[in-house]
Structure 1
Amino acid sequence: MKKALTFLGTMVLTLAIGVTIGQVSQADTPSAPGSADDPIVTKSYVDQKLAGVGSGGNTGGAPTGGSTTDASFKVVTLNPGQTLKGGEGAEFILRGGTATAIASTNGGVSDVTGADDLAQGANVELNHLLLTPRNDGRGLKVGSSTAYVLVRGSYTVQ
């Protein structure tokens, strides 16, 4: 019986020493990259960068440097016979009424929605996005009824 107790005590002691050595050796090994113990970036770093996004800096609304234009569309009401000529990069959407395209010697008005180049006098479709690439007199001429046009960018009404 004494032999069995001695053997059992030796086994328990050996097991305890083995577990202790295993724990000590694991403490020296580095954690896996990206784990909670060794993150690729710290949470405080991410929080700091996110806090800076809303305050100052370029927030994406307008480009930095140079001149900027309003990013939203304006509703322009045009009477029959009036013309709307766009500046460089101006965008138009005819929402109501009728209109025809005004082209220039450099080409027509770009119909982005219809993937077409509207020549002089071509009918403008409702709800199509139109683009004037240059400030060379391209635009719209209103037909027989009042027209409502959404405009983004520089333009003149005559």
Structure 2
Amino acid sequence: MKWLKKSVLLIAVFAVGVVSGSMIWTSSANNTGLVDPNRPGSVNDPLITKSYVDQAVAGQVKTELEKQLQGQLEQLDKMLADKQKEMDDKIVQFQKQLDALISKAGGMTVVELQPNQTMYADPGATFIVRNGTTIAVSTDANGIPDVTGGKDLMDGTPIELNHMLIFPREGRGIKSTHSSTVFVMVTGGYTVMNPDGTIAASSSMDNSDQNETAE
């Protein structure tokens, strides 16, 4: 039994010595640089979790997708704006052609009214405003008969599009409050006045006279 106790004691002493020696060697290796400081899990190369990687990658992907989407939206907006302008131009051209055909068929004249110009009607003339905004001009308390709407338009009253106005007397007309050209279908005589009181056009003037006045 004594030899068994001695054997156990020797084994224990040996194990303690091995562990102590290993710890001393590891500490010495760290101090002398024998252990790689960049090994995975070290201070210089820490381990990261999968959730962290997923979050970082997801953030980068989201940012890149937002940039691409913004660029595509800007291109789409530009394409829509170009198409809208193209359609507006075609509508204006079609309206001019339609008005010209109606004018030839019914003896009407299409007059272009510029911003702030006033067009006075000769007695018996009729006006139909095709686009834009205009107001009634009248020195008569009875106003201008709107036969389409079935009412009289007093001075300063907005005129509805495609309504036929009849002018039984002089001193009545319409004024453009639009920012661009207003097209008016006219039957009978008329006179277009500039804001300064000069004559811009008249049914009694031939084309050459009107061109000289416009210049």
Q: Highest relative contact order (Cα 8 Å, sep 6+), 1 or 2?
A: 1
TM-score by length of 2: 0.39
Higher helix share: 2
TM-score of the aligned structures, taking structure 1 as reference length: 0.49
